[in-house]
Amino acid sequence: MDTIGKIMISESGLAHVPQCGHLSWTRPGEQKPKWGWVPDATKEMWNSITTTTPLVATEGDRGLKAERRCSNCYPGMPGDPWV
């Protein structure tokens, strides 16, 4: 199993890599978003994220789970280790 680093999970159920620009996004007047994450995630974990097999956060806000993958994160990150 290839460890690919941390998978960040947003309140909207979207999985991101830590480098994703989405992680610093807040709209005016909006609270800082909450995040959950899975440290030392594997490529298999990233690839298996679906609505039927969501990835549940093990750190941060552990009530969050990812049901979809961010389309900006995958594919196409520079030096993408995920493909």
Which residues sit at the interface with Zn ion, rule CB under 5 A? 16, 20, 22, 70, 72-73
Report how far residue 21's alpha carbon sits from residue 32's, in angstroms, rounded to the nearest whole number: 15
Considering the complex, what minimum distance in angstroms separates the CB of residue 44 from Zn ion? 19
Considering the complex, what minimum distance in angstroms separates the CB of residue 52 from Zn ion? 21
Considering the complex, what minimum distance in angstroms separates the CB of residue 19 from Zn ion? 8
Closest CB to Zn ion among residues 12, 48? 12
Report how far residue 27's alpha carbon sits from residue 78's, in angstroms, rounded to the nearest whole number: 26
SS3 helix, strand, coil % of the chain, rounded to 5? Answer: 10, 35, 55
Report how far residue 83's alpha carbon sits from residue 81's, in angstroms, rounded to the nearest whole number: 6
Closest CB to Zn ion among residues 58, 72? 72
Closest CB to Zn ion among residues 58, 82? 82
